[in-house]
Chain A
Amino acid sequence: MAATDTPDRTRRLGHLGLAPYVLLLPSLVFLAVFFARPMVDAFTLAFEDPSGGFGLEPIRQMMADSRFGEALRTTLILLVAIVPVQFVLAMSMALVINAKLKGQSVWLYIYAIPLAVSELAAGIIWLSIFTQRGWLNSWLIQTGLLEQPFDFLGYQNRGWLIAAIVLAEAWRATSIIMIILVAGLQSIPSDYLEAAEIYGANLWKRIRYVILPMLRPSLQVALILRTVLALQVFAIVIALAGASMTVLSAEAYKWQVTYRGPNVAAAYAGLILLLSSSAAALFLWLLPASPRSGRGALNRAARPEPEREEVSR
């Protein structure tokens, strides 16, 4: 039903005017104490002159660092490589689950497994595959494809290294998206899909014209989540690449913990934050949660309301 502001409705919302703020309050308080305050501390660090005043010295130091360019490049490459791979995988899994196959609970269970596997464990698992004397080289040698083990994780084979990290990260973090998409698919009334099927829409058309538009809210959440987290890939890179490759979050960690330069660490953190927020804002704008809204999507995103036409006539 299209939402129209009837006087009646306005009045009802009127006495609920405070309700949303009451509901938001606990989370706001929590975030203020556990994020805002430490964050302010951290930001003052990022713009702190060695003399103690305000300055850009940490930023300069970060950009002058010999690893900065590589870390930024690698992070962006990984982001661009990981997110699409994950979405194709997750969508396939979600559709398979939604196809109501025999033993669907088993399929769902299997696909959900990596959901509970930590980045650390995933790094170790894929290390056992890609390391010089690991599974992959064993198979390649046993099948006669290779004479000598190939060094997949060496610094000189950047392509393979990135591929290994993308595979490991895609393996680990696709389940989250899959679950979100499945939850979204659940909310698509089956009569839509059945109607589309009866009228002869093939799978691709059903995905394109029914599923994706209806999944918008879920896609938006999943995209933002994954992008933000892909910018923080850390343990997997450390486990697989060691010192062969570095990313922004690893540099932030090292500056904080190893080099003891909290100012530069905070500068790196600020950069990651900047990239994440830009990506999130972009998705909010490009993929408004409610269909039929072009510009002003941001305003709509705050009150996304699935507007549906009556189908069951």
Chain B
Amino acid sequence: MTATTDPAQGEARADERPLQVRTPPRSRRHTLGRVGAYVAATLLALWVLVPLVLITFVTFVPRERVRDFPKTWWPQEWSADTFLFFWNSAGVRPALWNSIVIALMTVLMAMAIGAPAGYALARFTFRGANAYRITVLSTRAFPIVILSIPLAVTFLIWGIADTRLAVALMHTALALPFVVLITSSIFLSVSKDLEEAAQTLGCTPFQAFLRVSLPLTLPGLTAAAIFTFVLSWNEVFAASILTLRNPTLPALVLDALTVSPLPFQFAAGFFLMAPSLIFLFLIRKYLLGLWGRVER
């Protein structure tokens, strides 16, 4: 119905230029508001970025410089020494690959199982809906340390111990509540009337979902998939218990962390963080997909 005239059209909007509608002229107060917004944006960005820069500074210096004190504002000499030691440690690269594969498997399973449930919660009135909600929530509240041990035996009996599948199953169980709750919230944001309208136009309920709700909620669903990926990527405890020859990266690092020198710890911290930058960069367009304005 309406659209903003934004001089800075995000690239995501570039391929879709809806009807322009004149917005009211901007007042002086409004301009001040814009300046304030930029200041706030910058401060918040520094809050996020500075710690990342600091861990980078202590990772890319020669190993003997890591412990210097007081540290200079800026590294006096750069070196990949510390980082390379970590990168070349046995098992790091296979563990990285394991982490990625397990996270992707988790995303697929959790979305396939969780999103329909989220949809049901959002769209239907039925007995037990709330009980289901609370059940799902409480699963998230159960410390995984207690679940991991009985499950380790279960997986051994099933013959999938120490496989990626075992970890992915556990991670899916952990991610499900996330996915269910977030997808239900996303489906709620799209009016049910639209689907009903489509049904009156001759769509089956499934077609109505496919052609109306799904496109409108895809950005949100992408966000849910991202959370799932991240949850799996970052999960340490279950991964440590359930893997042996195929640890995930966090499991590998956790195991070595408390018994390793400071330079290694910092490099590991940097290394666990770095893929997240890359990963987010790869999907930055899909983060922008969150920007697809849902018009009603």
Contact = CB atoms under 8 A, between A and B. Distances in A.
Interface of A: 1, 12-13, 16-17, 19-21, 23-24, 26-28, 30-31, 34-35, 37-39, 41-42, 89, 92-93, 96, 99-105, 107-121, 123-129, 133-135, 137-139, 141-142, 149, 171, 176, 179-180, 182-184, 186-187, 189-191, 194, 197-198, 203, 217-218, 220-221, 224-225, 228-229, 231-232, 235, 249, 252-253, 256-257, 262, 265-266, 268-269, 272-273, 275-277, 280-281, 284, 289, 298-299, 301-306, 312
Contact of B116 (A23, A101, A111, A273): A23
7 contacts: A23-B117, A31-B176, A39-B147, A104-B8, A135-B71, A176-B227, A189-B296
A121 B265 CA distance: 9
A277 B189 contact: no
A192 to B, nearest CB: 10
A252 B290 contact: no
Contact of B189 (A186, A190, A301): A186
Contacts of B135: 31
A96 B132 CA distance: 35
B251 to A, nearest CB: 10
A181 B6 CA distance: 21
A105 B41 contact: no
B71 A217 contact: no
A274 to B, nearest CB: 9
A228 B137 CA distance: 9
Interface string B258-296: 000000011011101101110111001001101111101
A261 B143 CA distance: 15
B201 to A, nearest CB: 14
A220 B67 CA distance: 44
Given A104-B10, A111-B45, A277-B138, A186 B147 contact: no
The secondary-structure label for the interface of chain B is helix
Interface in B56-99: 58, 67, 69-73
A218 B185 contact: yes
B280 A125 contact: no
A16 B141 contact: no
A137 B69 CA distance: 9
Given A96-B40, A113-B280, A183 B114 contact: no
A20 B186 contact: no
Query: Which of A35, A100, A110 has the most chain B CB atoms closer than 10 A to its own CB?
Result: A35
Interface of B: 1-4, 6-8, 10-12, 23-24, 33-34, 37-38, 40-41, 44-45, 47-49, 51-52, 54-55, 58, 67, 69-73, 112-114, 116-117, 119-126, 129-130, 132-143, 145-147, 149-151, 154, 169-170, 172-173, 176, 178, 180-182, 185-186, 188-193, 196, 199, 205, 219-220, 223, 226-227, 230, 233-234, 236-237, 250, 253-254, 257, 265-266, 268-270, 272-273, 275-277, 279-281, 284, 287-288, 290-294, 296
A135 B163 CA distance: 41
Contacts of A107: 41, 45
B180 A186 contact: no
A256 B1 contact: no
Given A112-B287, A135-B54, A269 B146 contact: yes
B38 A303 contact: no
A108 B181 contact: no
A28 B146 CA distance: 20
Contacts of B146: 38-39, 42, 252, 256, 265-266, 269
A280 B137 CA distance: 7
Given A23-B119, A34-B173, A92-B40, 15 more contacts: A42-B142, A104-B10, A113-B49, A116-B280, A124-B268, A129-B51, A171-B51, A179-B227, A186-B220, A190-B3, A232-B141, A232-B143, A235-B236, A265-B145, A268-B143
B226 A115 contact: yes
- CB-based closest 3 A-B pairs: A276-B141, A124-B269, A116-B276
Contacts of B136: 27, 31
Contacts of B129: 20, 302-303
B287 A109 contact: yes
Contacts of B270: 121
B181 A186 contact: no
A171 B133 contact: no
A228 B140 contact: yes
A276 B138 contact: yes
A35 B147 contact: yes
A237 B49 CA distance: 22
